[in-house]
Amino acid sequence: MDTHYLESLLGYNARRAALAVIGVFLQRMEPYGLRPVDFSVLTLIAHNPGVTSRQICTALDILPPNLVGIVKSLQSRGWIVRRPHPTDRRAQGLHLTEAGRLLQSQAQVTATQLENDAASPLTARELDTLKLLLRKVYQR
Amino acid sequence: MDTHYLESLLGYNARRAALAVIGVFLQRMEPYGLRPVDFSVLTLIAHNPGVTSRQICTALDILPPNLVGIVKSLQSRGWIVRRPHPTDRRAQGLHLTEAGRLLQSQAQVTATQLENDAASPLTARELDTLKLLLRKVYQR
DNA sequence: TATTGTTATACTCTATAACTATA
DNA sequence: TATAGTTATAGAGTATAACAATA
């Protein structure tokens, strides 16, 4: 089966690699009930207490209507709370609960460990180079 | 907004980069009515005349029920035909029509050109390195 | 018994329009 | 006028079960 041409395309390789890594992520995060975007949102709140939904949408390139359900789900599981924004009464600041802090730190350890397994054919140096080049592609 | 931790993760970077490149792909391929998987299927048939649905599923990591609609769509647009498989009466060989060959070659030119724009912050050498490392991640 | 291709179907992901409260 | 958050909804992508025909 000749797949040489497809394998010469950046889009094809990026999509295949992303799906492979996300596959490992889904397996390892299944015990936490966290999908990739759930983890990203939880992690942004952990590192940016009081962040708003709109800021998260901009940072992660998510459409606002699609974030609503994610925030609701994290809140219903007792991991985040919404507090009034200090200066803008339209907005709400998002914060982790104590349970949320515990879960996020455990999930972050899992995410960090998962790297090595998902990228096991790469040396540490190759992995760093790969991540650097990927960032160059999507950061403008 | 602190996104440093997320940007240290392979999965996050791979997903963001793949979505960025696919975004450019969708724009450029819109005149042809081809989405990424449509193009991949058409291209595999072009480079492997007589290939079966099952072989395409294996090569592209698509589930058989999800390929049925794609093949039907390509067929209804007059780009591919199914012929009896020479040795296996369960299977059908997929082939491009003359119109399909013309369209695929035009789309392939577009896909090749698109590379440079989607990866414009990278040098040619960096782009080659990136694709090499991505293949290492998903090919086992 | 196993495989190819298919139908039906459910679930998730992504996108658009329109609304409210506030800036 | 513009923005933050929300609802409703439509479309695209992905997954499983089950079937007929053939190996």
How far is it, in rounded angstroms, from Cα A44 to Cα A52?
10
> Does B12 map to a domain?
yes
How far is it, in rounded angstroms, from Cα B119 to Cα B126?
9
How far is it, in rounded angstroms, from Cα B14 to Cα B134?
9
Interchain pair B111, A40: CB under 8 A: no
Please classify residue B129 by burial: count the beta carbons closer than 10 Å to its beta carbon, then call 0-12 exposed, 13-18 middle and 19+ buried: middle
**98-127 in chain B: CB under 8 A from chain A:** 108, 111-112, 114-115, 118-119, 121-122, 126-127
In tens, the pLDDT along B67-89 reads: 999 999 999 999 999 999 999 99
Q: In the beta sheet, which residues pair with residue A83?
A: A93
pLDDT band at B140 (very low <50, low <70, confident <90, very high): confident
> Does B26 map to a domain?
yes
In tens, the pLDDT along A33-68 reads: 999 999 999 999 999 999 999 999 999 999 999 999
The residues of A between 65 and 124 with beta carbon within 7 Å of nucleic strand C are 65-66, 88-90
CA of A104 to C1' of C23 (A): 33
Q: Do residues A51 and A41 make contact, with C-beta atoms less than 8 angstroms apart? A: no
The residues of A between 75 and 134 with beta carbon within 7 Å of nucleic strand D are 82, 85, 88, 90-92
Please give the residue of chain A at the shortest CA–CA distance from B16: A138
In B3-123, which residue ranges form alpha helices assigned H by DSSP? Answer: 10-29, 36-47, 53-60, 64-76, 98-118
**How many structural domains does chain A have?**
1
Whole-angstrom distance between the N-terminal and C-terminal Cα of chain A? Answer: 37
How far is it, in rounded angstroms, from Cα A92 to Cα A50?
8
Within 8 A of B18 by CB-CB distance, chain A residues are: 11, 14-15, 17-18
CATH number assigned to the domain comprising residue B47: 1.10.10.10
> Does B1 map to a domain?
no
Q: In the beta sheet, which residues pair with residue B83?
A: B93
pLDDT band at B4 (very low <50, low <70, confident <90, very high): very high
Residue A140 is predicted with a pLDDT of 80
> Does A1 map to a domain?
no
In tens, the pLDDT along B6-60 reads: 999 999 999 999 999 999 999 999 999 999 999 999 999 999 999 999 999 999 9
- For A40, which of B1, B6, B43 is closest by C-beta distance? B6
In tens, the pLDDT along A87-114 reads: 999 999 999 999 999 999 999 999 999 9
- What are A78-85's contacts with CB under 8 Å, separation 24+? A79/A42, A79/A103, A79/A104, A80/A42, A80/A45, A83/A50, A85/A50, A85/A52
Q: Do residues B35 and A10 make contact, with C-beta atoms less than 8 angstroms apart? A: no
pTM here is: 0.94
| Residue-range definition of the domain harbouring residue A14 | 6-138
